[in-house]
A and B are shown apart, each in its own frame.
Chain A
Amino acid sequence: MPNETLYEELGGAAAVDAAVDVFYRKVLSDDRVSEFFDDVGMDRQIAKQKAFLTMVFGGPVAYSGKDMRAGHAHLIARGLNDSHVDAVIELLGTSLREVGAPEHLVVKVAAIAESARADVLNR
């Protein structure tokens, strides 16, 4: 289907639901980044990760660059930098492959995630 959006190609909300646990489990278990995900209750984190995945899947989400900046400012104070963004993008790719997303879509998702880097790091 030529007019399908990336979000639809990936499987929409169901794909987000399938990926969110896999992805959040990976970041919580990864020593490089887990400390940044550790201090917020699980339910709120799951909701945040769903919003994040919906965004990088190119889906409908009310998540602005300003929100990304405000939401990560306190983490920058704790040392959040490029290496952590790299790790999260890497874990995102691993998660998507694990739930069966085709490689050309994984690449597109990584590109959207990459586009959020400046906002996340407040540059």
Chain B
Amino acid sequence: MPELTFQGKTYAFEAGETVLDTLLRHGLPAAHSCKAGSCGSCMLRAPAGAVPASAQTGLKDSWKAQGYFLPCVCRVESNLSISPVGADAQLSGTIRSLELLSPDVLRLRVRCDAPLPFRGGQYVTLLREDGLARSYSIASLPDEGELEFHVRRIAQGRMSGWLHEEAGPGDRVSVLGPSGECFYVPGNPDQPLLLVGTGTGLAPLYGILRDAIANQHRGPIQLFHGAVHKGGLYLVNELRRLAAAHAHVDYSAAVLQGEESEDCLVGPLDKVVLSRIPKLTGWRGYVCGDPALVGLLKKKFFLSGMASREIHADAFLASVV
């Protein structure tokens, strides 16, 4: 069996193990979250060319060139020497504020010690000082100086539990990233945009929406935010104000269960959206949140005429640790 070298010591791989499996089996403090090659939490570094290209899928080119890879999806046939991510990929920062937006969604603002280049809608891995890692979408824009995240309280969730109950302004955290392809791209300013998300899928959409406005997007922008109950909706007043201030921006809230009212639609999100906009030919779509619903909406939008290359999605994978 090949061996893994990490911080001056060697560890044996077992058959079929990923690099992350090996680290965890030996009790090493390896940050990780999705274990599916998506969130980027577990990123480490290896000599260029030492890991298969599949272990670098989704990483930006400059990181690939530096040997960064995702150990949770990396299996190797020969000896491998790895090191932690460098300071160039990770930024320290300070929690500035924590504010409840709804009973279970927290708005977290973090100021990084140096500017982080990103696009609204991308995501970063947030690391606590002890290495606990979770990824969150960025709801703010770079010129705001602080990163805004929407953190839903998850039962037994370690990071969300800490942020909701213990963390406070001044606490130190780090961010790793950004990652993700779901963001506004200027260049077609008259194209109609459809933004649909559930739960904290609103976070990336809030970033994308404001990025589109900041880039003087002229075409109609329709935002739909869905939740099971009305209690799951949040930022309602801010979004209404944003829509009122921009004639081409429209915001609709939709719930699965509840009574129809002037400001809240009722029904499955795909049906709600398509009853409002039956034909999506020529539209660009952004879909964020629950993976099953993201998959369904992508397909429905495609069948309603949206071109496949115009569908941008960010499915929130649950943490498996």
Question: What is the interface of chain A, defined by CB distance below 8 A to chain B?
Answer: 20-21, 24-25, 28-29, 41-42, 46
**Measured between alpha carbons, how far is A21 from B302 in the docked complex, in Å?**
8
Given known contacts A20-B308, A21-B308, A24-B308, A42 and B302 CB-to-CB distance under 8 angstroms: yes
Distance between A108 CB and nearest chain B CB, rounded to angstroms:
26
Q: Is the CB of A25 within 8 A of B295?
A: no
Q: 11 interchain pairs (CB within 8 A)?
A: A21-B307, A21-B308, A25-B303, A28-B299, A28-B302, A28-B303, A29-B303, A42-B295, A42-B298, A42-B308, A46-B308
User: Which residues of the partner chain B approach A41 to less than 8 Å between Cβ atoms?
Assistant: 295
Cβ contacts under 8 Å, B299 to chain A? 28, 42
Interface SS, B side: helix
- Distance between Cα atoms of A24 and B305 in the complex (Å): 12
Separation of A20 and B307 alpha carbons in the complex (Å): 10
Quote the shortest CB–CB distance from B24 to chain A (angstroms): 28
Bound state CA distance, A42 and B302, in angstroms?
Answer: 9
Bound-state CA distance A25–B299 (Å) is: 9
B316 to chain A, nearest CB (A): 15
Q: How far is the CB of B292 from chain A (nearest CB, A)?
A: 11
- Known pairs A21-B308, A24-B302; list 9 more (Cβ under 8 Å): A21-B302, A21-B307, A25-B302, A25-B303, A28-B299, A42-B295, A42-B298, A42-B308, A46-B308
Contact with A along B293-304 (1 / 0, CB 8 A): 001001100110
Q: How far is the CB of B280 from chain A (nearest CB, A)?
A: 12
